[in-house]
Amino acid sequence: MSKLLGWRKIPIGTIILEAGSTFEVRTGDWRTFKPVIDHNKCTRCGLCYYYCPDGSITLEVKDGKIVKVDIDYYHCKGCAICEGICPVKAITMVEEVK
Ligand code: SF4
Ligand code: SF4
């Protein structure tokens, strides 16, 4: 039977050395379905931006107005919250093909 280490000998783990380090993690690789925006239907209301739990909706803003809404596929995990929240059904989840 192996001897358990005392707490002083256990290596230090789970330390975040700098803020924002998870930005580097390609969480989009976890996705099985991806959201696609129909830009002809999108009214640029911004709701999907506020509801996305991963901050994966990007907004292009000019003169204080949203002029374009897009998806950051590097980070989007495919949860489909944006599809459900869009009031004009401009977002559709499609199967991810890799
Ligand atoms: S599918 Fe989920 S993670 Fe991806 S953009 Fe929509 S709300 Fe965000
Ligand atoms: S919720 Fe729908 S209509 Fe509103 S910005 Fe997002 S995609 Fe466009």
What is the value of pTM for the model shown?
Answer: 0.82
Q: How far is the CA of 94 from the centre of ligand 1 (A)?
A: 12
Domain assignment present for 13? no
Domain assignment present for 2? no
Domain assignment present for 16? no
Kindly tell me if the per-residue pLDDT of 24 is higher than 90: no
More confident residue, 21 or 66: 66
Q: Please give the number of the atom of ligand 2 that sits closest to the Cα of 85.
A: 1
Residue 59: give its domain's CATH number.
3.30.70.20
User: Which residues form the domain of 85?
Assistant: 39-98
Domain assignment present for 49? yes
Nearest CA to ligand 2 atom 1: 86
What is the secondary structure of the chain as a DSSP string?
A: -PPPPPGGGSPP-----STTGGGGS-GGGG-SEEEEE-TTT-----HHHHH-TT--EEEEEETTEEEEEEE-TTT-----HHHHH-TT--EEEEE---
Judge if the beta carbon of residue 47 lies within 6 A of ligand 2.
yes
Least confident of 24-28, 59-63, 91-95: 24-28
Q: What is the pLDDT of residue 35?
A: 98
**Number of domains, the chain:** 1
With a pLDDT cut of 90, the percent of the chain lying above it is 72
Domain assignment present for 24? no
Domain assignment present for 7? no
More confident residue, 40 or 21: 40
Nearest CA to ligand 1 atom 7: 52
Nearest CA to ligand 1 atom 4: 76
